[in-house]
C-alpha cells in the first residue's frame, strides 16, 4: 500500500462506476428554496448499500444543465464535456473530475445551486455570507437523510472554494472537512493592490450573464419542476462582478467590497469576534468550527497563493496546504480523496502525519522538486538585496534601461513617462482561464520597450527564490494619483525573457499596516478607505510593493530583470491622465530604490524538506503553455 503526496494505492478502491440522480429543493431558515442534486454511487446501475459519507459541491455555475451547441463555460470544463451530445444532461459527475472520482470511491455527491443562481430561488448570488449560511443548513439536512452518514465534506474550486470557508464560518454540526481549491478571499478576485482587476471582472461577468440567460440550469425533478424554475427566475435581480463606471472603479476600497458581500448575512456564531469581514478575515470562526481544512493553490493562481499561505498559518484546528506549480485551474488528482478517506471514512492513510505545508519549487520549464514544512515562511530563506540604478545595462532596448547592482551606487534620479499602452495581455494569470488552459504572455522583450527596466548581472550560480520579492521604490510623480506595475523576469543568455511573477500598487494605497493574519512580508496593506494617502505632485514617496510569492529555481548564466510600468491596461483599471505622468525614480545612497529577494539557503535546508516520493513520477501539471518535461 502507498499513501504520499498525490500517490494513493491500496487504502481504498473504486466500488462504483456510475450514479443515480435526484434533484429537490431544500428550504432554509428564511424560506428561500435551494436547488440540490443528489448523486448516489451505483455499480452497474444498482445503488450501493448505504448510508455513505457525502461530499458537497456548492456552486454559482449551475449544479446541472443541458448541453448547448455553444456553452458559457471555461475551456477547462468545456473540454470535459466535449464528448457529450448536444442536449445531454451535465451534472457535477460529468464536469467536475473530483466529484466523479469520489462517487467511484463510494461517496455521495450533493451539488448545490447558490441562492439566486441555477434553479435556486433568491435575487442574486453576490452575498457570500448568505450563501455560506444556506449551504451550512444543506450540510445538516444531508446528515439527516437515510442515504447519508453524519460526516460531510466539501470540495470545489475558485468561487466554490471560497464558499466552503464561508460555510465553515456558520459551524454546521456535520461539516467534518473541506478542500477549498484555488480559493479567493472573495475580495482578492476583484481588487488587489488598491486596484480593480477589471479585465477578469468583465470576462467573468460575461460568462455568468450567459449562464443566467442563454445557458440556463436544469430544473429540479417532479411535475412542478418547470413551474418552480420559472418562479425562481422571476425573483432574479442578478448582480455581477464590479462596475464599468470609471468614476466608481477609480475610488474603490476594501470597504465597498466587504460591505457588498456582508449585506443580508445572517448573524454568525461567536458574536464576540465582531462583524463579518472578507472570507479570509474569518480565520478564528473557521478554526472554532472544528472543520479540517485542506487548502490547494498554485504559485500562479491569480493572486491567491500568498493569502492562502497566510490563512493556513492563521487557522487553528486540523489544516493542510499544497502550493503547486499551477495556475487557476491545475489541481492535484488524489489529494482530495486521501483527505476525505481520512476524515469521512476513518481510513488511517498517514495524511495527518505528513508536513502541513507542501509546495513545489520549479524551474520555468516546469521541472518540480516537492518540499514539505510545518510552517511558512521557511527558516532557511534569507533576504538578498539588489539596488536599482540608472546605469544602462545594455541588455535591452527599453524606455529606461537601468541596472540591478549588489551594492547601492551614487544618488541619482531618472524619469519615465507612463505609457498607457503597456499590458500583459488577456492570457496572463488573471484572465487566461476563460479563454485557455495555460498562461501565455506577450513577448516580454517587446513589451519592455515601453517600460523602465532594471537588469542584473549574469548569475554566477543557480538560485532558488521562495517567497515574495519586495520592491521598495522611491519615486515622485507629476500627477495627483497613479499606479506601479512590476514584473520580475529571467533573462536567458540569448536575450529572451521569461515571466517569474508580478505585483501592482495604487499609489494612494501605499500605506503599510500590521496584518490581522500572520504575514511574512514587510508591505501588507489594508486597502481600506481610512488608510488612503494623498499623492502630491513632485513629492518623493516610498512605494513598498510585494510581488506575488513564488518558489522557482533560476539558472546560472541568466539574469534577473525588474520591469516597471505605470499600468497594465489589459488587466487593471488605472485612470489615464493627459498629459501622461512622469515618474521620477530615486537611486543610490542609503535610501534609494531596491529589490529584496527571498533566497533559499540550501546549506541550511534540513534533509527532510525534500519529498522525493511526492507525485510518484507523475506529471503534476504546470501553469504555463509548453511541453512539460517531467
436 and 292 within one domain: no
- Asked, for residue 557, whether it belongs to a domain, the answer is yes
Q: Is the pLDDT of residue 386 over 90?
A: yes
d(CA 433, CA 423): 17
Predicted confidence band of residue 214 (pLDDT cuts 50, 70, 90)? confident
What confidence tier does 619 reach under pLDDT thresholds 50, 70, 90?
very high
Residue 551 sits in which domain range?
381-602
Residue ending a domain, choose from 306, 337, 354: 354
- pLDDT, residue 628, reads 38
> Are 470 and 530 in the same domain?
yes
- Specify if 279 maps to a domain: yes
pLDDT at 375 (0 to 100): 96
Tens digit of pLDDT for each residue in 579-611?
A: 999 999 999 999 999 999 999 999 999 999 999
Mark whether 339 and 417 lie in a shared domain.
no
Tell me: the pLDDT tens digits for 543-583? Answer: 999 999 999 999 999 999 999 999 999 999 999 999 999 99
| Peptide bond connecting 579 to the previous residue in cis, omega within 30 degrees of 0 | yes
**Phi/psi at 112 (5° precision):** -120, 130
Same domain flag for 345 and 415? no
The answer as to whether 372 is a domain residue is no
Identify the DSSP state of 136: H
Q: How confident is the model at residue 626 (pLDDT cuts 50, 70, 90)?
A: low
Q: How far apart are CA 457 and CA 85, in angstroms?
A: 56
Nearest residue to 77 via CA among 486, 411, 434: 434
pLDDT exceeds 70 at position 314: yes
Considering the chain, what is the average pLDDT of its residues?
95
Tell me the pLDDT band of 70, cut-offs 50, 70 and 90. Answer: confident
94-103 mean pLDDT = 97
In a domain, 629, yes or no: no
The candidate with the shortest Cα–Cα distance to 563, out of 443, 400, 437, is 400
CATH number at residue 478: 2.60.120.260
Per-residue confidence (pLDDT) for residue 242, from 0 to 100: 67
CATH of the domain at 349: 3.40.50.1820
335 lies in the same domain as 454? no
For the chain, the distance separating the N- and C-terminal CA atoms, rounded to the nearest angstrom, is 24
- In this structure, the answer to whether residues 350 and 387 fall within a common structural domain is no
CB 114 within 8 A of CB 212: no
Q: Is-cis flag, bond preceding 161, omega within 30?
A: no
Same-domain status, 521 and 462: yes
> Pick the residue with more confidence: 182 or 125?
182
pLDDT tier at 630 (50, 70, 90 boundaries)? very low
Same-domain status, 344 and 434? no
Specify whether 336 is located in the same domain as 231.
yes
- Which pTM value belongs to this model? 0.97
Q: Provide, rounded to the nearest whole percent, the portion of the chain with pLDDT above 90.
A: 90
The pLDDT of residue 629: 36
Whether 487 shows a pLDDT value over 50: the answer reads yes
On whether residue 455 sits in a domain, the answer given is: yes
User: CA-CA distance, 244 to 227, in Å (whole number)?
Assistant: 35
Q: Is residue 610 part of a domain?
A: no
| Structural domains of the chain, count | 2
Q: C-alpha cell of 348? A: 488511517
Q: Are 335 and 4 in contact (CB under 8 A)?
A: no
Percent of the chain whose predicted confidence (pLDDT) is above 70: 99
Domain shared by 283 and 417, yes or no: no
Looking at the structure, do residues 395 and 345 belong to the same domain, yes or no? no
Same domain, 332 and 389: no
Q: Where are the beta strands (DSSP E) in 158-276?
A: 175-181, 191-192, 195-196
Amino acid at each position: 500500500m502507498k499513501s504520499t503526496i498525490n500517490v494513493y494505492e491500496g487504502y481504498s478502491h473504486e466500488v462504483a462506476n456510475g450514479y443515480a440522480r435526484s434533484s429537490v429543493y431544500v428550504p432554509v431558515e428564511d424560506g428561500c428554496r435551494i436547488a440540490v442534486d443528489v448523486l448516489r454511487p451505483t455499480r452497474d446501475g444498482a445503488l450501493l448499500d448505504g448510508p455513505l459519507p457525502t461530499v458537497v459541491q456548492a456552486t454559482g455555475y449551475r449544479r446541472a444543465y443541458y448541453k448547448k451547441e455553444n456553452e458559457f463555460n471555461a475551456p477547462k470544463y468545456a473540454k470535459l464535456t466535449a464528448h457529450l451530445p448536444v442536449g445531454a444532461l451535465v451534472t457535477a459527475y460529468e464536469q467536475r473530475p473530483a466529484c466523479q472520482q469520489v462517487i467511484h470511491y463510494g461517496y455521495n455527491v450533493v451539488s448545490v445551486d447558490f441562492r439566486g443562481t441555477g434553479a435556486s430561488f433568491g435575487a442574486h448570488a453576490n452575498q457570500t455570507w448568505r450563501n455560506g449560511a444556506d449551504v451550512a443548513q444543506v450540510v445538516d439536512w444531508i446528515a439527516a437523510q437515510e442515504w447519508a452518514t453524519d460526516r460531510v465534506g466539501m470540495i470545489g474550486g475558485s468561487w466554490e472554494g471560497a464558499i466552503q470557508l464561508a460555510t465553515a464560518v456558520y459551524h454546521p454540526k456535520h461539516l467534518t472537512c473541506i478542500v477549498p481549491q484555488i480559493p479567493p478571499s472573495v475580495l482578492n478576485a476583484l481588487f488587489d493592490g488598491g486596484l480593480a482587476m477589471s479585465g477578469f471582472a468583465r470576462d467573468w461577468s460575461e460568462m455568468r450573464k450567459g449562464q443566467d440567460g442563454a445557458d440556463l440550469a436544469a430544473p429540479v425533478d417532479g411535475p412542478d419542476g418547470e413551474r418552480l424554475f420559472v418562479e425562481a427566475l422571476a425573483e432574479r435581480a442578478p448582480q455581477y462582478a464590479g462596475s464599468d463606471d470609471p468614476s466608481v472603479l477609480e475610488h474603490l476600497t476594501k470597504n465597498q467590497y466587504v460591505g457588498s458581500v456582508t449585506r443580508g448575512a445572517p448573524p454568525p456564531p461567536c458574536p464576540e469576534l465582531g462583524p463579518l469581514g472578507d472570507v479570509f478575515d474569518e480565520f478564528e470562526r473557521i478554526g472554532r468550527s472544528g472543520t479540517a481544512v485542506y487548502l490547494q493553490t498554485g504559485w500562479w493562481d491569480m493572486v491567491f497563493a500568498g493569502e492562502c499561505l497566510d490563512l493556513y498559518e492563521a487557522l487553528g484546528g486540523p489544516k493542510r496546504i499544497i502550493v503547486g506549480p499551477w495556475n487557476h485551474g491545475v489541481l492535484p488528482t488524489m489529494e482530495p480523496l486521501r483527505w476525505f478517506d481520512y476524515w469521512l471514512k476513518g481510513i488511517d492513510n498517514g495524511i495527518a502525519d505528513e508536513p502541513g505545508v507542501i509546495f513545489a519549487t520549479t524551474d520555468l520549464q516546469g521541472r518540480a522538486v516537492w518540499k514539505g514544512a510545518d510552517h511558512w515562511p521557511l527558516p532557511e530563506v534569507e533576504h538578498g538585496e539588489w539596488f536599482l540604478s540608472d546605469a544602462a545595462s545594455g541588455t535591452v532596448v527599453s524606455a529606461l534601461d537601468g541596472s540591478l547592482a549588489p551594492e547601492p551606487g551614487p544618488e541619482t534620479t531618472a524619469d519615465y513617462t507612463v505609457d498607457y499602452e503597456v499590458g500583459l495581455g488577456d492570457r496572463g494569470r488573471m484572465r487566461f482561464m476563460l479563454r485557455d488552459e495555460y498562461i501565455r504572455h506577450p513577448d516580454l522583450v517587446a513589451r519592455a520597450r515601453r517600460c523602465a527596466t532594471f537588469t542584473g548581472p549574469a548569475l554566477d550560480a543557480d538560485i532558488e527564490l521562495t517567497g515574495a520579492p519586495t520592491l521598495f521604490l522611491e519615486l515622485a510623480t507629476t500627477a495627483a494619483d497613479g499606479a506601479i506595475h512590476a514584473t520580475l523576469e529571467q533573462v536567458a543568455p540569448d536575450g529572451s525573457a521569461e515571466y517569474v511573477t508580478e505585483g501592482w500598487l495604487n499609489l494612494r494605497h501605499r500605506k503599510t499596516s500590521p496584518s490581522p493574519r500572520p504575514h511574512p512580508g514587510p508591505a501588507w496593506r489594508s486597502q481600506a478607505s481610512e488608510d488612503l494617502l494623498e499623492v502630491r505632485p513632485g513629492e518623493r514617496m516610498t512605494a513598498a510593493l510585494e510581488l506575488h510569492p513564488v518558489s522557482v529555481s533560476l539558472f546560472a548564466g541568466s539574469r534577473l530583470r525588474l520591469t516597471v510600468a505605470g499600468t497594465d491596461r489589459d488587466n487593471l483599471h488605472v485612470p489615464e491622465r493627459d498629459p501622461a505622468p512622469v515618474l521620477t525614480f530615486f537611486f543610490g545612497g542609503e535610501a534609494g530604490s531596491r529589490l529584496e529577494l527571498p533566497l533559499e539557503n540550501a546549506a541550511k535546508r534540513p534533509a527532510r524538506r525534500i519529498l522525493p516520493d511526492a507525485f510518484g513520477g507523475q506529471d503534476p501539471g504546470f501553469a504555463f503553455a509548453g511541453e512539460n518535461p517531467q
